[in-house]
Amino acid sequence: MGVFFGTDGLRGKVNGDLSYDLAYRCGNALSSFAGVKAKILIGTDTRKSASLIMLGFACGAVNGGAKVTSVGVCPTAGVSYLTKTLGYDFGVVISASHNPAEFNGIKIFDKTGIKLSEKQEEQIEKLFLKESALSFDKLGTFEFLPKYVNLYKDFLINSSDCLLEGLKIVLDLSNGASSFVAPKVFKKLKAKVIVLSGKPDGLNINRDCGALFTRNLVEKVKKCRADIGLAFDGDSDRLIAVDERGNVVDGDKLIYLFACIYKKYGRLTLPIVVGTRHTNMGVEQALGDMGIKLIRTEIGDKYVSAKLIEQNLLIGGEQSGHIILRDKHVTGDGILAGVMLASILKKEQKPLSSYFNFECFKQANINVEVHDKMKVINSEKLSKEIEKEEQCLCGEGRIMVRVSGTEPFIRIMVETKSKQTSEVIAQKMAQIVSEVDREL
């Protein structure tokens, strides 16, 4: 990772870590990196700060000679799709994804719709301090074309090979970018749609709703006797589902389900899917029982995407809900995954709960805020404690301690067959992390 770019672009609190000036420098650097007259497409989520950061980025890019097109509010995957389809050199998303409203961020896609590599991000960062200000006759331009988002909606609708008539679907839109896309898509496919958290006001994005807070969705699915619930995050690149019984179906289980269905219909060209270090061991074993191998990458959907491309595979994703169906799209797309999932239920005529006849390992996850996450993660004391606890597990579980790519946290995940054991070890690791942080 670079100084500014983390595992999912550049991110921070608005007018703190992320300011108009930094956005300007990022836009200006991208235009210099791309060359004069680069074409850049920009979309945002629904945060109040979207205009501030988007205009800062756009001004920097225009001053560097780029032609900038804003499509307004658009899901992250929509920007990726439009960038590739319409022939832009880069696609930019102004969003902090699942983070609260006071955060914002900048994600960048190349002309193929793939997120930039770490090497490319580092090259752009080096240009942050060297402003490109061209003569007036070489300045770029800015235009606003929100109608382009309709092309993405059409893509989503056409991705389903059947109508969803007869399905009752609850959508939790997280008061985010999916609010203006997902309901129209599912209604066009003839599903009966019930909407939660679909009235963004600039400040309520991800607030007690969406993919990170499924309680309201669970209750609504059970109350309405819906066939399925679908929860997206602020920029809708994540999907967490809820089955007809009110059970939460995370990204790991969705990877399993898509792999099984693809294999059943002869669409899984190679019996391999891609997950991350966080993917549940129970899901890995269930895939193995189906003759499907799981390959793990580092945390971050761009690493999953890179591995899929490298090995020419079709299905990958993260427990958090990033699902990549590479025969349909090149990046994680929550709405697309939701459309495909609903299509499976319609065609198979089976409830979602019937697909998961296996036990997941019990995971305990704790985030510990620290002053210097890199010093903490490299602590010898922490390393020795992790090694000691892993030896006690004797291969019957895992301990994963890592730095957050976007926030000042050390993230702890412990996975065993016992919920109590996982929680006890996770709490112990959290205590060690806090001790190390205080001692630095």
Q: pLDDT digit string (tens) for 296-350?
A: 999 889 899 999 999 999 999 999 999 999 999 999 999 999 999 999 999 999 9
Name the one residue in this structure whose structure tokens are 């988007």. Answer: 54
Residue 2: band (very low, low, confident or very high) from pLDDT cuts 50, 70, 90: low
Q: Which of 97, 178, 320, 343 is catalytic?
A: 97
CB 190 within 8 A of CB 211: no
CA-CA distance, 130 to 199, in Å (whole number)? Answer: 41
The pTM (predicted TM-score) of the whole model is 0.91
Residue 134 has pLDDT above 80, yes or no: no
Task: Find the mean pLDDT for residues 39-48.
Answer: 98
pLDDT given for residue 5 in this prediction: 75
Helices 334-348, 251-264: inter-axial angle, 10-degree rounding: 50
Residue 7: band (very low, low, confident or very high) from pLDDT cuts 50, 70, 90: low
CA-CA distance, 43 to 302, in Å (whole number)? Answer: 19
For domain 362-439, the CATH superfamily is Alpha-D-phosphohexomutase, C-terminal domain (3.30.310.50)
CA-CA distance, 215 to 219, in Å (whole number)? Answer: 6
> Do 160-355 and 362-439 show the same overall fold?
no
Of all residues in the chain, the percent with pLDDT exceeding 70 is 98
CA-CA distance, 185 to 169, in Å (whole number)? Answer: 12
Task: Find the mean pLDDT for residues 238-249.
Answer: 98
Residue 97 designated active-site:
yes
- Classify domain 160-355 at the CATH topology level: Alpha-D-Glucose-1,6-Bisphosphate; Chain A, domain 3 (3.40.120)
Note the pLDDT tens digit of each residue in 365-414.
999 999 999 999 999 999 998 999 988 888 889 999 999 877 789 999 99
Domain boundaries 5-149, CATH class:
alpha beta
Helices 149-159, 76-86: inter-axial angle, 10-degree rounding: 100
List the chain domain ranges. Answer: 5-149, 160-355, 362-439
Maximum CA extent, the chain: 69
β-bridge mates for residue 197, sequence order: none
From the number of C-beta atoms within 10 Å of its C-beta (0-12, 13-18, 19+), residue 316 rates as buried
β-bridge mates for residue 275, sequence order: 296
> What DSSP character marks residue 14?
B
Note the pLDDT tens digit of each residue in 287-304.
999 999 999 999 889 899
Helix (H, G, I), strand (E, B) or coil at 244: coil
pLDDT given for residue 130 in this prediction: 80
